[in-house]
Homo-oligomer: A and B are copies of this chain.
Amino acid sequence: MPPSAKAGLVDALAQALDRTRISSAACDRTAYARDLWPRGLIGVAHGDAAPQPPDVVVWPETTAEVAAIVKVAAARGVPVVAFGAGSGVTGGTWPTRGGIVLDLKRMNRFVELDGDALTAAFEAGIVGEHLEHELQRRGFTMGHFPSSIFCSTLGGWLAARSAGQASTRYGKIEDMVQGLEVVTGTGEVVRTGTSTVGPDWNQIFVGSEGTLGVITAATVRVARAPEVQLMRGWEFSHLAAGLEAIRRLLQRGLRPAFVRLYDELDTFIAHLGTSGPWRGRTGRRAPGPDGPLDELRRTALSLAIPHVGPLARLALGLFDRVSPSGCLLVLGYEGDGALCAAEEQIGNTELLHAGGRDLGPAPGLRWLEHRYDISYQQSHVFHDGAFVDTMEVATTWDHLLEMYEAVKRAVSRHAMVMAHFSHAYPEGCSIYFTFVGGSPARREAERIYDACWHDGLHAALNASGTLSHHHGVGLSKAGFMQEHHGELMTMLRGLKRVLDPAGIMNPGKLGLP
């Protein structure tokens, strides 16, 4: 945007909110130029911190201010990118065409709690940890615990269809939403609710990733703070046995909060890194979605970055032959004391019957303790010229092992890959692949990175998988949307024309123009 146009834009925005909450300073533009999309972090490691910065950053404090900002933007055809806490991993807030980044973190108020109906309302910019604190000090919980809870917001969760670590019990964010306040691309304010007639408008905006409007407030379902948390670790000799046990347990109607099954490599690395905590001894680290990453870093570096791909394949091949350990399952119930005790007892019978070895409560308790350790830290592997990313895809039980094998095979051609199975449901489960690769040369690292995603996602889709379970689409998977959604993209473009006729809302994301 030329300087004169930018000055005009700032002046126009100053009609909508105080000038102290509008910035076109270089430092702010750089700070808001990206999120934690690992492909971007490869660039950052090479000094490219702000590939396409926004022209202006604004910090509204009310929905009326957001509406006024969007109206200014719509009149001028300037892009608007809603921004929460910036921990997204898909490039969903990259201002690829410049324009306005709208930081919602000043809209972070706890609005109200209805303890009878078990609902609570918040402004969308509240950080997850603060939201949960507001609820817990009143004796409630949202039950939504993404590993990013310290650095992600309610609005971001809703926009990207987030899932927390306890989604087996409490559901994903789309199951929790009871109502939204949204500023659409025309600057109109709409309020959805729990009406049970006509289309469910909540489900139009959840997952829309800022392309149809800006979510400014939400009412969500909450639960009473759990009386108990019953955690337990289990060992299975192989993955299929563990998965079958989980499927049977959930399909009996049991609803554990936490269900996490680590594949052999993930289990092995967790075991290495912890001096075997899940075997009952004391360890300094717990296995978790990112827990093994520091260990992996050591492994990856020892393999020497330029050769990480071939060496990883070699190591993996060796590992597959000598695979020393089984698979760790962490399973936990939380909620009503009597009900959880009954559920755990029934569940234990099922797991023993399926060949599980009871490891007692220690592995689960340690996982609980460390479950947020990683997401708000920047992984060091990027400084060392490598990259680490996670691919969270999901499918139904009948396709799960097939998808696991296919994605592992596809990605391991380019990087070291391991996985755990979490977010389990009666009909299926998500697989959380972690992969590490790299090259000292930026373009080569990016090529390898893109190859991991290209081959991995196609393998997942070919095995009836989804594009993403809870990280969203953003830029990283935008190129897959037409292939994956076909005719639905025609409808989505039509819906966008209705809600965002000027085409200014987070352009380029979710496969939309």
Q: Which residues of A contact B (CB under 8 A)?
A: 114, 116-119, 161, 172, 174, 178, 184, 188-192, 194-209, 212, 221, 223-224, 247, 251-255, 335-336, 338-339, 342-343, 346, 349, 394, 396-399, 426-428, 466-470, 472-473, 477, 481, 484-485, 487-488, 490-492, 494-495, 497-499, 510
Contacts and interface: CB of A to CB of B under 8 A. Distances in A.
A495 B498 contact: yes
12 contacts: A116-B397, A117-B428, A197-B466, A197-B481, A198-B473, A199-B205, A204-B491, A253-B336, A254-B336, A339-B342, A491-B499, A495-B498
A253 to B, nearest CB: 5
Q: Which 9 A-B pairs have CB atoms at the shortest separation, nearest pair first?
A: A494-B498, A117-B396, A342-B342, A203-B203, A116-B398, A200-B203, A252-B336, A190-B487, A116-B397
B199 A204 contact: yes
Contact of A119 (B349, B394, B396, B485): B396
B196 A466 contact: yes
A254 B342 CA distance: 11
Contact of A339 (B253, B472, B488, B497): B253
Contacts of A472: 197
Nearest to A472: B197
A346 B342 contact: yes
How many monomers of this chain does the complex have? 2
A497 B498 contact: yes
Given A335-B253, A336-B252, A339-B254, A161 B196 contact: yes
A245 to B, nearest CB: 14
A468 to B, nearest CB: 5
A467 B195 CA distance: 8
Contacts of A119: 396, 427
Contact of A203 (B190, B199, B223, B427): B199
A495 to B, nearest CB: 6
B198 A466 contact: no
A15 to B, nearest CB: 24
Contacts of A161: 196-197
A255 B255 CA distance: 11
B252 A116 contact: no
Contacts of A397: 116-117
Contacts of A495: 199, 494-495, 498
A169 B145 CA distance: 25
A81 B158 CA distance: 35
A494 B488 contact: no
A116 B336 contact: no
Contacts of A172: 196
Given A197-B466, A252-B335, 8 more contacts: A116-B247, A190-B487, A195-B485, A196-B207, A199-B204, A336-B346, A339-B343, A342-B346
A118 B201 contact: no
Nearest to A255: B253
Contacts of A209: 198
Contacts of A253: 255, 335-336, 339
Nearest to A423: B196
Contacts of A255: 253
A468 B205 contact: no
Contact of A117 (B114, B224, B349, B398): B398
Contacts of A254: 336, 339
A191 B487 contact: yes
B196 A470 contact: yes
Nearest to A468: B197
A499 B494 contact: yes
Nearest to A212: B199
Contacts of A487: 188-191
Q: Which of A114, A189, A221, A427 has the most CB of B within 10 A?
A: A427
